[in-house]
Structure 1
Amino acid sequence: MSILPKTNRRDFIKLAATAGGGLLLGFHWSSAAPASAGVISHVSDLPAGTIDFNSYLSIAPDGVITILSPNPELGQNIKTSFPMIVAEELDADWTKVKVIQAALDTKKFERQVTGGSGAIPHSWERLRKAGATARQMLVEAAAKRWNIPATSLTTDKGYVLDSGNGRKLTYGELATEASAIPVPADVKLKSIKDFKLIGTAIRNVDNQEMITGKPLYGLDFYREGMLFAMIQRPQSFGTKIKSVDAAAAKAMPGIVDVVTFKNNVAIVGKSTWQVNKARKALKVEYEADGAIESTADHDRILKTLLDSKETTIKRKDGDVDAAFKSAAKVITREYQCPFLSHTPMEPMNFFAHVRADGAELIGPTQTPEMARNETAKLLGLAPEQVTVELTRLGGGFGRRLKADYVLEAAELSSIIKAPVKVIWTREDDMTGGSYRPAVRYRFDAALDAQGNLIGYKLRGVGINAGNTTREDNFPSGAVDNLLIETIEHKSPVTTGAWRAPITNFLAFAEQAFLDEVASASGQDPVAFRLNLLNKAKQSPVGAIKYDIDRMKGVIELAAEKSQWGKKKNIAQGFSVYFSHRSYVAQVAEVAMKKGTPVLQKIHAAADCGVVVNLSGANQQVRGGIVDGLGHAFYSNLTFKDGAAEQKNFNTYRLIRMKEIPEIDVHFVKNEISPTGLGEPALPPTGGAVANALFKATGKRLYNQPFIKQEELKGVNLGERM
């Protein structure tokens, strides 16, 4: 099953931009897009005389505007988008804007977190007010200097303009006077139709630094005199240290100490290479400390739990039992997904310097406040005694929501009484958790004699997955009789949020199942979903917690742009999903070539409210699709005797550049406040592709990774698979 026909070098550059997440955010570096803002690495680099207007921005006498971006940047483009919002309301000249990554400061900022696609929705109005407040103060300062009403003045690209008298002043010229103006209690925000910067394509502010290799990431951080450490952790979940023989490791060049703490053995030395070599000389023996599970155990547990009587009901509408008893046709299907590793390109790392009077933390984290608070608790410090400085994150996908690797560095520094940077290898990253949970679903649909959906059941079971469902998502509210349940198995295998938690697989299972139900009812898959949405709008059943019109809007846009049902010799598959407050519909297109299905194109329609940065938004959708496609097809993490069997990319398969299809992205234009985009494009991808493959081959896919499924056996997959 091919993924993509061969491409030329120019296409490869485009795909590199698509798949690279935060590395290449624009296809054409010489395009006419507005110039990228500059970057100042630290507040101490600000020009003399710089005036702070609020927590987010300051203006220097030379007119340079510095905007702080408080949230962690891991490739979602927040370090560019946040300043764009401030600059828009400020009416700044983007070419004179400098961007600084702010350190953790809970007094100045709120929600300094990257996760849940919630940064822009949370900060949208706050950032706009920050820019608008400074703009009003500058206008009032100019009005005072010229002795004219402020209402007669306008602003544009860093100037206050008095058009009636043909004069203007730069923001830099007014900064000192404006800073003395009382901060207005209420400011008027721009009308969205008047935006000049928001909605355009702006290059990532770190582009130049990234492509020239300037230190930006946690792994780049270095301080004279710091030590390096690697940690030997249990390779099998459910085991603990029995004995440690560190004599050989301690005798190796550059090794300062070998420290055992909790269930870890840390090798501390003068360089990464030296500690890595010494760790291989360690002799650590482990013993059982609870259940030790293999993938065969997980498969058995999940199948058994699907029939368990002990379940948690998440939603129940109508009389489900009666609906299924009266049904003319019942469809039952099961779907299962494996554990997955987050595998960010930058493995976990963090610097810590614990002193008697406090602790300094520097590195890549999605949750700096959690890192601070948990470190303070660990060390017996007050939170204000712990500082956290953020580097750019080389990926995260939810892995860096946890603070375990930060606490390792902090605890080790407190033990050795020295500044230390703890570095994980790729093998550490893939064998030490935390993983996407393994989950299994059973769907049941009841149809009446006319093909109407009269009953719907979903039971999800997961391993350390919490709630395996999203009980209020579509088609809830559109079916008269509905039952959604969840069951969890507690396991020593550590799990955590993985990009678009739960919905990353649930969406595939649900959308693949709905296609089968549509087929059984004799309806077109797109029409089937639209009919359900119309029913939910006209006769809602229970709570409706998604926006019916917004979901219909992306369905109709995707169908229009893909020419749904109108192309010859092309098998199209449809999927739509609501997650993280946004809506994305996708159409995948597969053509048969020499008996082999080839995925040629994916059309995507997204409604995320106002698009802040068109370039960043485009890449978020493309990146989500590539991520969803690659993991649906290839990635698989299995366990034997409690140990992860896949330890590096030679055995843990990721998608390759040549396997990425053409991707066509469209956004619904509206004036709804932004509703998140880091995750919503991933969930629909698996379903759209699986449904297209069925259209092309007649074979349904029920489990991931697709490449391992019996339905694909005998198909000439070709080198691209």
Structure 2
Amino acid sequence: MMRAPIPQATSGAAPSRRAFLRLSAAVGGGMLLGFGLPGASRAARGAGKDAGFEGGAFIRIDTQGVVTLVMPKVEMGQGIYTAISMLIAEELEVPLSSLALAHAPPNEALYRDPLLASQMTGGSTSIRYAWEPMRRAGATARTLLVTAAAQRWKVDAAACHAERGEVVHAASGRRLGYGQLAAAAALLPVPRDVALKPPSQFKLIGTPAKRLDSREKVNGAARFGLDVRLPGMLYAAIVQSPVFGGRLASVDDTHARKVPGVRNVVRIDNAVAVIAEHTWAARSGAAALLLQWHEGPGAAYTTEAVVRELKAASLGPAGVARKDGDAAQAMSKAVTRVEAVYEQPFLAHAPMEPVNCTVHVRADACELWVGTQVPTRAVALAAGISGLPESRVTLHNFLLGGGFGRRLEVDFIGQAVRIGRLVDAPVKVFWTREQDIQQDMYRPYYYDTIAAGLDAAGKPQAWTHRITGSSIMARFAPPLYSKGVDADAVEVAAELPYRLPNQLIEFARKEPGAVPTAFWRGVGPGRSTFVVESFMDELAAAAGADPVRYRLDLLAGSPRARRVIETAARAAGWPGPAVKGRGRGVAMMQAFGTFIALVVEVTVDGEGEVRVNQVTCAVDCGLVVNPDTVTAQIEGGVMFGITAALYGEITIKDGRVEQSNFHDYRMLRIDQAPPVKVVIVHSGEAPGGIGEPGTAALPPALANAIYAATGKRLRKLPVGDQLKHA
């Protein structure tokens, strides 16, 4: 019988040593196994045993044989509930469908992802960080269970093996289920080292597996933050300044309080919240507020002003991210010099589930019901605002209805806690779609100046690239903004696999006034790849070379990069027939531990309308856990990338975001979605990330295809309407 993989909520208190013992006893004397992820301690704790076991995550096996994985990552559509479960099931020898899942509670010491230096879901790290530790946990649990069975039968453990949740003694035909052995196994000393299966023995890893969370999402049992319902719960609609940096001057709530169902109107910091018995009353009350704002200097801010400021900053001082050789001298000797300026706009996240948070703040405790990528940050913020110790803050985490980086932020959680302090009941603070777009934290506007000096053969001998934009890291992770360089903004740009003997890569920081900036799916690799791979096409054109061959000639030292380009080109039938108005473009990216190449085919009609006909992708993400997940993530990421490349743009006028919903913040429609062919290039390398590469690598391939179709080089995103106005 399939175990429901989605728990309704997660307790937030970090498990103490005493709690471990209580939990183990609560499962009927079963087995509670913790295991260490990189950077975490390794020990063990079992029922009735004093020796501690504290690790990065836990396997629980009760006396009924139910295996529960306490999931250290958050599911937001990327498929990790299934893929991480496959790692455990493979080594533990249990059917994938038999696993039950529970969210991990917030605890940096236990659940820290060393690749992100935090308990966090993002950056396409989930499988990369869990690959060995999760398998080792399964193998350790299996070893303990086999040992417990062998001791009971008084036979050599080597004569026993595990299969489908049982330990078998082949010589006698005896079998014992894991539930029958869990209590005894919990008392055994945990082995220091256990042998992991070689890939040749994998039964589950590498095979297509159906998503464990699909059934609940289809039948409505899956729970998201917006699904929270609590006894006595109230609802809060908020109103914030429409102008970046604006301040609340006055509020007249007379009419709002007369709306049936409205309980109260409260003011927090720079927002007003209408508290009501249901969402309609809350929204109606918010619409009835009479508000005055001090708009301040931000009221004159526009997108054009942002670009002017970035352009000016690009001419000023900058931090050096990479310096190889002497780019200036090599440029002076170049036979041909190619220069370009690329621009990428602000982007909103626009997840299908707008941000929301339900809170209940009491004198002695605070509870949060929210979908978040950063549970420990959420708890720390709630503790600071409520004045309670973190041990008195409980977080119930949920499936995320889309994240894309938005739920790495905790601004809306802090807002909810501030409102909750003023309400003597649980209160759900919800944002409308319009607020989610107009009050978002945006991917920064980037302004890139890039140049190359080519020799007589058309090969780059000098390469300079200056990135100008906001530093997300300076706010989000200050150590990663160092010596004037934002480590995220220069990712990919400073680590190109191409043979470029003289390079100078720089970052010039310029914040866009009061416009808040944040990570957006693909983060640094996405913004850098658009510039680098578009410019690489410009160099191929200047050299009179085929774009695929040009790249391959510069990748002699990167066999994995060469392989994905060759595979994608071959699968797409590169270069394809020459047809008026139709073109193909290619792009390659090395990031997130993954190599990916895309070939995009487009048609541009006489009115300048762009239609994507076909996308062919070759991806080498190392050892593959679930090929279905890889394919699905590439397909979804490609659609996300097409949307951004063709239409994605947040513009500012009079200090306000002009877009408000999907009618003017346009999404790719289903009738516009092209077929996507995904070819997995198998390799024996460690697993790479897959959630973001498809999105990050798509825009330059699309822009290059448009150039092939029209002869017009588009260096500014989005490209969708530029040809219509050319």
After TM superposition, the score normalised by the length of structure 1 is 0.88
- Deviation, structure 1 residue 526: 1.7
Pick closer, same or farther for the CA change 1:487–1:597 going to 2, 3 Å.
closer
| Farther-moved stretch of structure 1 (429-438 vs 581-590) | 581-590
- Taking the aligned partners of 1:95 and 1:693, their CA distance within structure 2 comes to 46
Out of 538, 542, 553, which is 2:563 matched to? 553
Give the structure 2 partner of residue 696 of structure 1: 709
Summarize deviations over 1:433-461 as a string: whole Å, max 9, x none. Answer: 20111111121111122222111111121
Does the alignment pair 1:647 with 2:660?
A: yes
- Amino acid corresponding to residue 567 of structure 2 in structure 1: L
- Deviation, structure 1 residue 37: 5.4
- Taking the aligned partners of 1:40 and 1:675, their CA distance within structure 2 comes to 25
- Amino acid corresponding to residue 530 of structure 1 in structure 2: L
Does the aligned pair in 2 maintain the 1:465–1:488 contact within 8 Å? no
- Taking the aligned partners of 2:111 and 2:492, their CA distance within structure 1 comes to 33
1:576-615 equivalences under 5 Å are 576-590=588-602, 598-615=611-628
- Taking the aligned partners of 2:316 and 2:249, their CA distance within structure 1 comes to 39
- Deviation, structure 1 residue 115: 1.0
* Secondary structure in structure 2 of the residue aligned to 1:509: helix
| Farther-moved stretch of structure 1 (240-249 vs 208-217) | 208-217
- Amino acid corresponding to residue 127 of structure 2 in structure 1: I
Pick closer, same or farther for the CA change 1:525–1:416 going to 2, 3 Å.
same
- Taking the aligned partners of 1:405 and 1:670, their CA distance within structure 2 comes to 42
- Taking the aligned partners of 2:673 and 2:71, their CA distance within structure 1 comes to 32
- Amino acid corresponding to residue 550 of structure 2 in structure 1: F
- Amino acid corresponding to residue 517 of structure 2 in structure 1: T
Does the aligned pair in 2 maintain the 1:290–1:492 contact within 8 Å? no
- Deviation, structure 1 residue 65: 2.1
- Deviation, structure 1 residue 176: 2.5
| Farther-moved stretch of structure 1 (609-618 vs 235-244) | 609-618
| Farther-moved stretch of structure 1 (69-78 vs 666-675) | 666-675
Give the structure 1 partner of residue 77 of structure 2: 75
Out of 529, 533, 542, which is 1:511 matched to? 533
- Deviation, structure 1 residue 502: 3.1
Summarize deviations over 1:304-355 as a string: whole Å, max 9, x none. Answer: 333x232222222222222222211111111111111100000010111112
* Secondary structure in structure 2 of the residue aligned to 1:578: strand
| Farther-moved stretch of structure 1 (282-291 vs 652-661) | 282-291
Does the alignment pair 1:522 with 2:533?
A: no
Does the aligned pair in 1 maintain the 2:298–2:654 contact within 8 Å? no
- Taking the aligned partners of 2:604 and 2:292, their CA distance within structure 1 comes to 54
Pick closer, same or farther for the CA change 1:477–1:603 going to 2, 3 Å.
closer
Out of 302, 309, 319, which is 2:310 matched to? 302
- Deviation, structure 1 residue 228: 1.0
Does the aligned pair in 2 maintain the 1:94–1:157 contact within 8 Å? no
Pick closer, same or farther for the CA change 1:176–1:40 going to 2, 3 Å.
farther
| Farther-moved stretch of structure 1 (187-196 vs 215-224) | 187-196
Give the structure 2 partner of residue 181 of structure 1: 188
- Deviation, structure 1 residue 59: 2.3
Does the aligned pair in 2 maintain the 1:36–1:202 contact within 8 Å? no
Pick closer, same or farther for the CA change 1:686–1:654 going to 2, 3 Å.
same
Pick closer, same or farther for the CA change 1:186–1:463 going to 2, 3 Å.
closer
Summarize deviations over 1:449-489 as a string: whole Å, max 9, x none. Answer: 22221111111212455634336645367212211122222
Instruction: Kindly tell me the number of residue pairs found equivalent between the two proteins.
Output: 666
- Amino acid corresponding to residue 542 of structure 2 in structure 1: A
- Taking the aligned partners of 1:559 and 1:153, their CA distance within structure 2 comes to 50
- Deviation, structure 1 residue 656: 0.7
| Farther-moved stretch of structure 1 (585-594 vs 70-79) | 585-594
Out of 306, 311, 326, which is 1:319 matched to? 326
Percent of aligned positions that are identical: 36
Give the structure 1 partner of residue 583 of structure 2: 571
1:131-150 equivalences under 5 Å are 131-150=138-157
| Farther-moved stretch of structure 1 (284-293 vs 394-403) | 284-293
Does the alignment pair 1:52 with 2:12?
A: no
Summarize deviations over 1:102-145 as a string: whole Å, max 9, x none. Answer: 33244543333111111221222221121111100110011112
Does the aligned pair in 1 maintain the 2:493–2:505 contact within 8 Å? no
Give the structure 1 partner of residue 388 of structure 2: 381
Q: Give 5+ residue unaligned stretches, structure 2.
A: 12-22, 35-56, 114-118, 474-485
- Amino acid corresponding to residue 92 of structure 2 in structure 1: L
Out of 201, 210, 216, which is 1:209 matched to? 216
* Secondary structure in structure 2 of the residue aligned to 1:533: coil
1:397-546 equivalences under 5 Å are 397-463=404-470, 467=486, 468-470=489-491, 473-475=494-496, 478-490=499-511, 491-534=513-556, 537=557
| Farther-moved stretch of structure 1 (110-119 vs 676-685) | 110-119
- Taking the aligned partners of 1:216 and 1:682, their CA distance within structure 2 comes to 27
Give the structure 2 partner of residue 23 of structure 1: none
Q: Give 5+ residue unaligned stretches, structure 1.
A: 1-34, 538-547, 715-721
Pick closer, same or farther for the CA change 1:311–1:592 going to 2, 3 Å.
closer
Pick closer, same or farther for the CA change 1:588–1:352 going to 2, 3 Å.
same
Summarize deviations over 1:164-199 as a string: whole Å, max 9, x none. Answer: 333332222322322222222222211122111111
- Taking the aligned partners of 1:196 and 1:664, their CA distance within structure 2 comes to 26
* Secondary structure in structure 1 of the residue aligned to 2:720: helix
Does the aligned pair in 1 maintain the 2:97–2:212 contact within 8 Å? no
Does the aligned pair in 2 maintain the 1:349–1:424 contact within 8 Å? yes
Does the aligned pair in 2 maintain the 1:140–1:150 contact within 8 Å? yes
Summarize deviations over 1:676-714 as a string: whole Å, max 9, x none. Answer: 1111121111111221222222222211111131x3447
- Deviation, structure 1 residue 358: 2.2
- Taking the aligned partners of 2:498 and 2:661, their CA distance within structure 1 comes to 44
- Amino acid corresponding to residue 53 of structure 1 in structure 2: L
